[in-house]
C-alpha cells in the first residue's frame, strides 16, 4: 500500500509550543497542533514501498552544513480569502535553499514526482476556511515582526501523512542528521 510522503524540517518543541500558543481562536481558522508544525521542503505524494526504499537511500546522501533559521512573523497564502496561515523564516538561509535543491535532485533522479512549484519556505500554523484577509489582519499586524525563536537545522525528516476530516496526521519515517564536518 503506498504512503503519502513529504520531506520536512522538524521544529524544536519550544518553537512548536510558541507557535501553537498564538492561536487567535477565530471561527473558521483551524490552528494546527504543535506536534504537526514543521517546514515542508518537498511534497512527494503517494509512493510504493520499493520506491520508498530507493527514496530513503537517495536522501541518505543529501547533505548541507548545519545552519540556523529564525522564526518570525505571521502571514497568509491565498489572496483576499487566505487558506494557509504561516510563520516565516526570514529570508531563509543559503543552506536552506541548497538543501531544497539537493532534496529535489534526489527525488528527480528516482523519477518520482517532484514538487516543482517555487520554494517559499514557511511553517504552516493554521488553515482558514471562509475567512477574509481583513478578519485576520489584526493577527498579522500584532505578529508582523514578532521573533518566535531560532533553531539550528542539523538534518531533515521524511514524513508520511494520513489525511482525515480532522486534518493530516504526520509520522516520522526517517531522520537524516548532518554532521558538522
**φ, ψ dihedrals at 33, nearest 5°:** -65, 150
Neighbours of 163 (CB within 10 A): 9
Neighbours of 13 (CB within 10 A): 10
Residue-wise pLDDT for 50-65, tens only, equals: 999 999 999 999 999 9
Count how many domains the chain has. 1
Residue-wise pLDDT for 118-158, tens only, equals: 999 999 999 999 999 999 999 999 999 899 999 999 999 99
Structural domain harbouring 157? 3-177
Query: In Å, what is the CA distance from 102 to each residue of 7, 11, 141, 176?
Result: 12, 20, 35, 13
Q: What is the CATH number of the domain that holds 101?
A: 3.90.1140.10
DSSP state of 35: G
Mean pLDDT of the chain: 93
- Per-residue pLDDT for 166 more than 80? no
- Per-residue pLDDT for 181 more than 60? no
**Residue pair 91/145 in contact by the 8 Å Cβ criterion:** no
| Confidence (pTM) | 0.91
Which comes out higher in pLDDT, residue 162 or 1? Answer: 162
**Residue pair 88/6 in contact by the 8 Å Cβ criterion:** no
**Residue pair 49/86 in contact by the 8 Å Cβ criterion:** no
Residue-wise pLDDT for 71-121, tens only, equals: 999 999 999 999 999 999 988 899 999 999 999 999 999 999 878 889 999
Buried/exposed 43-77: b ≥16 CB within 10 Å, e otherwise: bbeebeeebbebbeebbeebebeebebbbbbbbbe
**Average of per-residue pLDDT across 148-175:** 92
Amino acid at each position: 500500500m503506498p504512503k503519502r510522503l513529504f520531506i520536512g524540517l522538524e521544529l524544536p518543541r519550544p518553537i512548536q509550543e510558541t507557535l501553537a500558543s498564538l492561536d487567535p481562536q477565530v471561527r473558521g481558522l483551524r490552528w494546527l497542533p504543535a506536534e504537526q508544525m514543521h517546514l515542508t521542503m518537498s511534497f512527494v505524494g503517494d509512493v510504493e514501498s520499493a520506491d520508498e526504499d530507493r527514496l530513503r537511500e537517495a536522501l541518505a546522501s543529501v547533505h548541507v552544513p548545519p545552519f540556523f533559521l529564525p522564526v518570525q512573523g505571521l502571514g497568509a497564502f491565498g489572496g483576499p480569502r487566505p487558506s494557509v496561515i504561516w510563520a516565516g523564516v526570514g529570508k531563509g538561509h543559503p543552506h536552506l535553499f541548497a538543501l531544497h535543491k539537493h532534496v529535489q535532485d534526489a527525488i528527480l533522479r528516482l523519477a518520482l514526482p517532484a514538487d516543482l512549484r517555487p520554494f517559499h519556505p514557511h511553517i504552516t500554523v493554521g488553515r482558514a476556511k471562509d475567512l477574509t484577509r481583513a478578519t485576520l489582519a489584526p493577527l498579522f499586524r500584532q505578529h508582523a515582526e514578532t521573533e518566535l525563536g531560532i533553531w539550528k537545522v542539523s538534518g531533515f525528516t521524511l514524513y508520511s501523512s494520513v489525511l482525515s476530516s480532522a486534518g493530516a496526521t504526520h509520522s516520522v519515517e526517517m531522520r537524516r542528521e548532518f554532521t558538522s564536518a
